Amino acid sequence: MTAPVTLETPEGAKLLDSRFTVPGMRCAGCIAKIERGLAKIEGVDSARVNFSSKRVAVRHTNSLDEESLVEAIAEIGFEAQPVADNPLAKDDREVKLLLRALAVAGFGMMNIMLLSVSVWSGAGGVTRELFHWLSALIALPVVAYSGRPFFSSAAMALRHRRTNMDVPISIGVLLATGLSVYETFAGGGHAYFDSAVMLLFFLLAGRALDATMRNKTHAGIGALLSRMGKSAAVLDEGGNRKIVAAEDLEPGMLMLVAAGDALAADGEIEEGETALDNSMLTGESAPHAASVGDTIYAGAINLGNPVRVRVTATASDTAIAEIARLMDEAGQSRSSYVRIADRASRLYAPAVHSLALIAFAGWMIAGAGWHQSLVIAIAVLIITCPCAMGLAVPAAQVVASGALAKKGLLVKDGSALERLAEIDVALFDKTGTLTLGEPVPQVDHLTGQQASIALALARTSRHPLSKGITKALEQRGVQAAKLADVREESGQGLTGLFDGRKVALARPETGSANIATSLMIGDERTKILFEDPIRPDAPEALAMLAEGGVSSSIVSGDFTEPVEAVARELGIDWKAELHPEDKLALLDRLKASGSRPLMVGDGINDGPALAAAHASIAPGGASDVSQQASDAVFLGSGLMPVALAVRVARKTMQIVRQNFAFAIIYNVFAVPLALAGLVTPLIAAIAMSLSSVVVVGNSLRLAKAAR
Amino acid sequence: MTGLAFLIPIALGLGLLGLAAFFWAMRKGQFEDLDGAAQRILIDDEDDEQ
């Protein structure tokens, strides 16, 4: 949980900082409502919303705790979750480091260019020498500062006796800078400071783009995470209730699990009986009845009544942890995936090095002298140095992921797009993936009076089913009836008085296959059934996938009957009653037969499959574990983002390949010139900027890809 | 030539100023909430606010 920072104010009162994620913020009105609403609360010093990351930071006195602030935000009308102290700090630091390096390189490049242009346009003698000295003065600290990301990565690779893209970059930059310094001392004609710094600038631009994209998506996903049991209300011997973080729970503790809460540990019910939503764990849509003596598992959501649970297993011993272990093993195969840029650099780096070496040796043999030979070898290194290549992949991926984010799909990183482009089979979980995963009441058969009474009763409760009824009826424009004496009795449901008659929403019947509740007005009983509808655009999305040559099927842990019904409606293959291991085995068989499967699923039981698949996508309502394990997360009630993701990923890779093709063509022309010793710093500079501009321009075409 | 003695330091100084401004903005968190800034201009001032 949050470790609040304690600050001493001049008045001596202690102020704490707490952060909450509020995924429901959508507009300027929400920002104003939250900030002003919180500021009015006694004990709140200030509240500041960060709209981009959907968070609110509250500074408050220690008279308030996190729980009361969450309640306060709920009263304002938003669901909030406390978040740990800036878990994104690490990503943030990387982006900031790159941006600073980029700014410094940009500053250096502009000023050195200014000086270089006058040298190119004919400044000679003392002026040229002065300008070279000034360039050296600017370039040396700039290279030392901005080159660090490349130097450290190259050093790391060399230490492990490998080579990567950063090795030729570092060698090229260092050699060019070194030679230019020598030229400056010797009063020679050509200095390559501009090329060296410009190279750093363009490459840093690519890196910074890549890192920003990852950072942005992580912030978006971070805002969705953590509606799961991260903490529990625990009763101590004295009967005092306190909130304990999931990792601090111990076997033997007594947890108080309210309706709507997720379990944070495995345990045995000691008091009360209820219905549990086990879909996170098993994928089954029907609620499970549980009473005294039953063992219930972490991740289950309490749909019924408050129960007291004695903790039996925590953290790494829970059933969820077993699945997490499976996932870890399954994820190994994916980490061996080699990104396209790295694959290219494996061929590219040795080729560039040998070319430069050949150029040096060739000119030495031809008797050009070591100085001229070295200049030519460096020209080869710089001109082949992959500015266009460094930008080719990140530029395309950033534009594509931006376009997808607008359509409600958050892609975690570039490698996810590369793998998504390659898939040829799609496997879908049922509950929460093809369906919406939240019970929607069937209220069409209710008369106007019944509906208004049901709404008046349901809206007073925070029970998930009551919330579902409230939402459905409010959407139909039902006005709530005036009721007297509305009360919620735990375990019995909601009761009230309407015109002197007793009315009630009876508690859901546990144990039956479908969830249902009864509306009672006097003696008259009406049943309200709950259903889990298929996402409205699922047929279109599946058709779009099929168009792209991707065959879809359902793999579900649910019973045969409901799975078959959904599969028949959508017209796709299905497999039901699968355990997490079965799904994993199925994926392994598919991979062994040469397919590249895409897994789309939400439950923890899908976790291993998500980690093992070639690419995976989870809906925004999925469990934390599933969102962590997947490559992308889609938001909203549609399935279309999944189909769009595949299409855009394929277009992205097409553009990336075009970019590479362009970089190769460019080299075909530039390298012979460099080998022939015809490349002056001016030509190198022009060629480099031109190729970068073309690559970025080509990548921008992807902005329209998601339409 | 004498012009250079003034112009080059001025050019460099302006560049450094821009760089310093960028570093300052980054440290002060000006880039933390880019979407929020776009939304905030739509918030009406409340009457009771000073």
Residue A512 pLDDT class (50, 70, 90 cuts): very low
pLDDT digits (tens, 9 = 90+) for A96-148: 888 999 999 999 998 998 888 888 887 778 888 888 899 999 999 999 999 99
Q: Is B27 on the interface with A (CB under 8 A)?
A: no
User: How far does the CA of residue B15 sit from the closest CA of chain A (Å)?
Assistant: 6
Pick A6-87's CATH classification: 3.30.70.100, 3.30.420.40, 3.10.450.50, 3.40.140.10: 3.30.70.100
Location of each CATH 3.30.70.100 domain in chain A: 6-87
Give the A window 101-120 contacts with B, CB below 8 Å: 103-104, 107, 110-111, 114
Q: Checking phi first, is residue A430 left (phi over 0); if not, alpha (psi -120 to 50) or beta?
A: alpha
Question: A626 near A601, Cβ under 8 Å?
Answer: yes
Could you tell me how many CB contacts below 8 A there are between chain A and chain B? 53
- Model pLDDT for residues A91-101, shown as the tens digit of each residue: 677 888 889 99
State whether A52 and B11 contact (CB < 8 Å): no
Residue span(s) of chain A under CATH 2.70.150.10 come to 231-318
**C-beta separation of A266 from A318 below 8 A:** yes
CA gap B30, A186 in Å, rounded: 46
CATH number for domain A409-437+535-635, candidates 3.40.50.1000, 3.40.640.10, 2.60.40.10, 3.40.30.10: 3.40.50.1000
Residue with tokens 């460096």: A378
Quick: pLDDT tens for A141-164.
Answer: 999 999 998 899 889 888 888 777
Query: For residue range A172-192, what is the model confidence (pLDDT) as tens digits?
Result: 888 889 888 988 888 777 788
| Interface contact B39-A104, CB threshold 8 A | no
Band (pLDDT 50/70/90 cuts) for residue A287 is low
Is residue A166 part of the annotated active site? The answer reads: no
Over its C-alpha atoms, chain B yields an Rg (Å, rounded) of: 19
Domain boundaries for CATH 3.40.50.1000 within chain A:
409-437+535-635
Kindly list the distances between the CA atom of residue A89 and the CA atoms of A415, A621, B24, B34, in Å, as whole numbers in the listed order: 22, 25, 19, 17
Q: Is A32 on the interface with B (CB under 8 A)?
A: yes
> What does the block give as tokens for A615?
């690419």
Rounded percentage of chain A residues whose pLDDT exceeds 90: 5
pLDDT at A506: 75
Interchain pair A52, B39: CB under 8 A: no
Measured between beta carbons, the chain A residues lying within 8 angstroms of B48 are none
Instruction: Please check whether residue A96 touches B, CB under 8 A.
Output: yes
What is the overall mean pLDDT for chain A? 78
Cα dihedral value A256, A262, A267, A270, nearest 10:
40
What was the pLDDT predicted at A8?
46
Superfamily of domain A440-531: Calcium-transporting ATPase, cytoplasmic domain N (3.40.1110.10)
CB A96 within 8 A of CB A81: no
Of residues B4, B15, B35, nearest to A51 (C-beta): B35
Q: What is the pLDDT of residue A335?
A: 53
Residue A582 or residue A381, greater confidence: A582
pLDDT band at A511 (very low <50, low <70, confident <90, very high): very low
pLDDT digits (tens, 9 = 90+) for A451-486: 888 888 887 766 667 777 888 888 787 787 777 777
Instruction: Express the helix, strand and coil content of chain A in percent, nearest 5 each.
Output: 55, 20, 30
Residues A296-319: what's their mean pLDDT?
74
Q: A51, B15: Cβ pair inside 8 Å?
A: no
Candidate from A27, A111, A134 with C-beta closest to B39? A27
Per-residue pLDDT, A65? 78
For residue range A364-408, list pLDDT tens digits in order.
Answer: 998 888 878 887 887 787 777 666 666 778 788 888 888 888 788
pLDDT exceeds cutoff 80 at B34: no
User: Which of the four pLDDT bands, split at 50, 70 and 90, describes residue A689?
Assistant: confident
Residue A13 confidence class, pLDDT cut points 50, 70, 90: low
Q: B46: distance to nearest CA of chain A, Å?
A: 10
State percent of chain A over pLDDT 70.
82
Decide which of 3.30.70.270, 3.30.930.10, 2.70.150.10, 3.40.50.10710 is the CATH code for A231-318.
2.70.150.10
Quick one: pLDDT at residue A490? 55
Residue A429 has pLDDT above 90, yes or no: no
- B-chain residue closest to A105, CA distance: B19
Is the predicted pLDDT of residue A90 greater than 70, yes or no? no
Contact A28 B46 (CB under 8 A): no
Residue A2 pLDDT class (50, 70, 90 cuts): very low
| SS3 state at A646 | helix
Give the closest-approach CA distance of B34 to chain A in angstroms: 7
Catalytic residue among A210, A413, A429, A558: A429
Work out the average pLDDT over A537-563. Answer: 86
Q: Which two tokens stand for residue A34?
A: 């939250």
Using a CB–CB cutoff of 8 Å, tell me whether B32 touches chain A: yes
Tell me if A28 and B15 make a contact (CB, 8 A cut-off): no
Q: How confident is the model at residue A660 (pLDDT cuts 50, 70, 90)?
A: confident
pLDDT at A207 over 90: no
Q: Is A49 on the interface with B (CB under 8 A)?
A: yes
* pLDDT (0 to 100) of residue A331: 55
Q: What is the pLDDT of residue B24?
A: 93
**Poorest-pLDDT segment among A302-306, A605-609, B44-48:** B44-48
Which residue does chain A place closest to B35, by CA atoms? A52
Name the residue with higher pLDDT: A393 or A617: A617
At B50, the pLDDT band (50, 70, 90 cuts) reads very low
Q: Say whether B32 and A100 touch across the interface (CB within 8 A).
A: no
**A89 in B contact zone (CB under 8 Å):** no
In which residue ranges of chain A is CATH 3.40.1110.10 found? 440-531
Q: Which residues of B touch A406 (CB under 8 A)?
A: none
In this prediction the pTM is 0.70
* pLDDT greater at residue A438 or residue A10: A438
**A200 Cβ contact list (under 8 Å, min separation 6):** A101, A105, A142, A143, A146, A147, A150, A173
Residue B14 near chain A (CB below 8 Å) = no
